[in-house]
Amino acid sequence: MSHTRQWNVRLHLFEDDGATKARVVLDTGTTTLTGRGTAHCSPEDTNVPEIGDELAAGRAMDDLAHQLLNVALRDVEGMSPHRPITPAPLGWPA
């Protein structure tokens, strides 16, 4: 059985109060989730806007990923109320 979907992701980067902020919005057609991230440049560091963008965007996507995994876990638990699901750790094993 083939399963094809298209989800849209929009990433917004902006400066606010000396910080780079990011908002990433996932629209599945039935659900919308929003992740947020912020990056601050230390006064001792050279201001490189691209690095702030990368940090803020990465943190927003990380926030979104955690939200999406939590939604999936709740959905799985709803399908089988007798089998609680333990979230797997994110990233590579240490």
Percent of the chain with pLDDT over 90: 67
Catalogue all structural domains in the chain, each as residue range(s) with its CATH number: 8-79 (3.30.160.240)
Q: Edge to edge, what strands does the sheet with 19-27 contain? A: 8-16, 19-27, 32-40
Kindly report the pTM of this predicted structure: 0.81
Q: SS3 of 39, please?
A: strand
Q: Is pLDDT at 92 greater than 70 in this prediction?
A: no
Contact yes or no for 40/19 (Cβ under 8 A): yes
Q: What is the pLDDT of residues 23-49, one digit of tens each?
A: 999 999 999 999 999 999 989 999 899
List pLDDT tens digits, range 6-28. Answer: 999 999 999 998 899 999 999 99
